[in-house]
Chain A
Amino acid sequence: MNAVFEIVLNPLFAFSVLRVSTPILFAALGALISDKAGVINIALEGIMLISALAGVIFSAISGSAFFGLFMALFFGGLVAFGLGYVSLKLKTDVILAGIAINLIASGGTVFVLFLLTGDKGISSSLASKLLPKIDIPILKSIPILGPILSGHNILTYFAFISVFLVWFLLYRTPLGLRIRAVGENEHAVDSVGISVVKTRFIALIISGVMAGFGGAYMTMGYISWFSRDMTAGRGFIALAAESMGGATPLGSMLSSLLFGFFDALSNSLQLLKIPYEFVSMLPYVATVVGLVIYTTQKTKRMHRMRIKAESKKEVL
């Protein structure tokens, strides 16, 4: 047991939690925005994968990591626009369209990679660029906190800044109000002359751009190349994190960190004398436990509210 604490209390462990959580957090914020607009964006996984490849290709061509990032975001938005077009304009089922995008992304990225490099597995023959890591001047020299918080990839910082940005967008801007209103009751929004389709389009595109950040991080920060199906379900974990976080920015961040924590834990615990099967089960157990806690809290709260409402009625 001591050895477990030794691992968890090591600043390097906390550092790795932030690193592992970053792509999940980006995608969870993407899921949040589209969810608020009443569209479930199940294509996050595929969008991340496409953006991941776009980042590698365009940073290799241009020699600039930031241009690669820009193109990753562009493609993220573009694919989300495509999803919006078929689901909002042409009225196909958004879940089916999302699944289609995920399948296209899985095969299509390999196809494009093969066309460009003649390789079907990994893009190591493209000299792609990495986004910089940032040392935060004063924080860096503080013991414990410094090694945990300083020296991350620029996108890791941006992921946590985005939590605030997304909150601000949703709760403090007219657009955010519209997005939430469309998700709550589209007919009401329609009746006051706001275009439901347009608002959902905007929400989906922002959602795609967020997933694009996650994809760019995968290939230009987390690892330095693209490899086949490298997102490995992170887009779906993000959907779970968003709903476990109660569809709020802060909640999504906390549940992304929780997933990141257990993922990092399962990576480190294997080194101890704990059965491998047990360790690799941990992230999933955490999910189930998290969901159970969340729903019991929610039902308790609803129960309390109902009792309150009933007692008020009695008074009346």
Chain B
Amino acid sequence: MNRFYAIPIFILASVAMFFAGCRGKTEAGTDDDGVLKIVNLINGTRGDKSFFDSSAAGMDLIEAKYDSAVLTKTIEMSYDQPNWEPTLLDIADQDWDIIIVGTWQMTEMLEEVARDNPDKRFIIYDTEVDYSLDLGNVYSILYSQNEASFVAGALATALTKSNLPLTNPDKLIGFLGGMDIPVINDFLVGYVEGARYVDPDIKIAVSYIGSFDDTAKGKEMALAQYSQGVDIGFNVAGQAGLGQLDAAKDMHRYAIGVDSDQAEFFVQTDKATADLIATSVLKHVDKSLLRAIDMHMEGKAPYGSSEILGFDEEGVGIAKNEFYMAIVPEEIRELVDEIEEKIRSGEIEVSSAFGMDSEAINELRYSISP
């Protein structure tokens, strides 16, 4: 008997839910009170201690600055790829003025959605859309992570050549990437050039974890690098890269963090780890999103084009916290400031991995490998 009723009840319930869903949408559509509605779609979750946390923090900055003039929302689409496109399509159907997405994985989806919704504004960060598709409503934000990595490479090389207690005589530094993809290689290219700027004979151990969340594998690879004589390594692998920091603690070597100030995470609970993080290459997704909304408010946002944000626009930076001050000797700090200045003024030009073919990247990797 029970089973007999179950099917019609189930169908009724689904239909009811379907209509409930529709009504929600139409209600949102009729409401128009001059508030700028901004939604940020994260294709991951908060808590990666780097990239997505920074993006979510950007929404907080916007909210804090514009208060009731904006309505912001951050939606975590999780790391489950099949979720992303339906969520983006749903959101595009709703009454949002500006839709923000990030990372290269979202590029193609956004190109399609932006074309179908010409009345909406879109911002995409850390990649750019193909503007030959006539996407006048999309503003792409790129970061000159290669420039910040240049400084990190120079710093690492200067440290490995110094007589600091935890360094060894080998002129060998490390690079731990998440995957062999352009945005990660952009860090690598800058890092290599910066390292060579200080010492043309420097060797760099390069590994890719092949994942952005397998922390244990990240640690294992970092341990392999450190035991080969690397005394300072740079991790560019999101959550998986955090494994390197644990490895640095085990082996008592130095590390360089990425995206957010990674020493900050360990200050409270694990100072021994924080004490080894010389600096972090910062990618200020948060500030760049606030900047974009600032420009939108002034009517100057360059929709239909992309911008590369560097040191000057505070798109990228180097964390100069207490640990940096404690680890890095004064003359190296001066060198870092000098290099940063030269990049700002254009005296040093850093190459980018974007537009480099894989042959060239391979050649670069081989030329520096120990």
Which B residues are in CB contact (< 8 Å) with A275?
362
B45 touches A227 (CB 8 A): no
Q: Are A127 and B211 in contact (CB under 8 A)?
A: no
Fill in one digit per residue for B217-259: 1 if any A CB lies within 8 Å of its CB, else 0: 1011101110110000000000100110010010000000000
Complex contacts, B155 vs chain A, CB 8 Å = none
Residues of A within 8 A of B47 (CB): 110, 113-114, 119-122, 228
Of B18-26, B265-273, B337-345, the segment with at least 4 beta carbons within 8 Å of chain A is B265-273
User: Do B221 and A230 touch across chains, with their CB atoms under 8 A apart?
Assistant: no
A228: which of B45, B223, B269 is its contact (CB, 8 Å)?
B45
Measured between alpha carbons, how far is A124 from B262 in the docked complex, in Å? 11
B108 contacts partner chain A, Cβ-Cβ < 8 Å: no
Interface centre among A122, A127, A224, A267, by most B CB within 10 Å? A267
Hey, which chain B residues are within 8 Å of A280, CB to CB? Answer: 208, 210
In Å, the complex CA distance between A240 and B210 comes to: 21
Residues A270 and B216 in contact in the complex (CB < 8 Å), given A120-B45, A120-B46: no
How far is it, in angstroms, between the C-alpha of A125 and the C-alpha of B242 when the chains are bound? 14
B208 near A124 (CB under 8 angstroms)? no
Q: Is B213 an interface residue (CB 8 A)?
A: yes
Residues of B within 8 A of A227 (CB): 213, 215, 239, 242
Which chain A residues border B228 with CB–CB below 8 Å? 268, 271
CB distance from A102 to the nearest CB of B (A): 14
Residue of A126, A223, A263, A280 with highest tally of chain B CB at under 10 A:
A223
Interface assignment of A196: CB less than 8 Å from any CB of chain B: no
Interface string of A234-273 (1 = CB under 8 A from B): 0000000000000000000000000000011001101111
A270-300 residues at the B interface, CB under 8 angstroms: 270-273, 275-277, 280
Are A271 and B370 in contact, CB atoms less than 8 angstroms apart? yes
Contact between chains at B265 and A230 (CB < 8 Å): no
Residue A218 is within 8 A (CB to CB) of chain B in the complex: yes
Residues of chain A lying within 8 A (CB to CB) of residue B55: none
Q: Complex formed: what's the CA distance from A114 to B216 in Å?
A: 21
By a CB distance below 8 angstroms, the chain A residues around B239 are 121-122, 227-228
B95 near A: Cβ within 8 Å?
A: no
- Chain B residues positioned under 8 Å from A267 (CB to CB): 207, 217, 220-221, 223-224
C-alpha spacing A227/B45, complex, angstroms: 12
Residues of B within 8 A of A19 (CB): 220
Which B residues touch A192, using CB under 8 A?
A: none
User: Given A121-B45, A124-B266, A224-B246, do A232 and B210 touch, yes or no (CB 8 Å)?
Assistant: no
Distance in angstroms from B136 CB to nearest chain A CB is: 36
Asked if A122 and B49 sit within 8 Å, CB to CB, the answer is yes
Interface residues, chain B, CB within 8 Å of chain A?
A: 45-49, 53, 76, 180, 205-208, 210-211, 213-217, 219-221, 223-225, 227-228, 239, 242-243, 246, 249, 265-266, 268-270, 362, 366, 369-370
Return 26 A-B CB contacts under 8 Å, by A number: A16-B223, A110-B47, A119-B47, A120-B47, A120-B76, A121-B45, A121-B46, A121-B48, A121-B49, A122-B47, A122-B239, A122-B242, A124-B269, A223-B216, A227-B215, A227-B242, A228-B213, A230-B213, A230-B216, A232-B211, A268-B228, A270-B208, A271-B205, A271-B207, A271-B224, A271-B369
Could you tell me which A residues sit within 8 Å of B by CB distance? 10, 12, 16, 19-20, 110, 113-114, 119-122, 124-127, 218, 222-225, 227-230, 232, 263-264, 267-268, 270-273, 275-277, 280
Closest 7 CB pairs of A and B: A120-B47, A121-B47, A232-B214, A270-B207, A227-B215, A268-B224, A127-B269
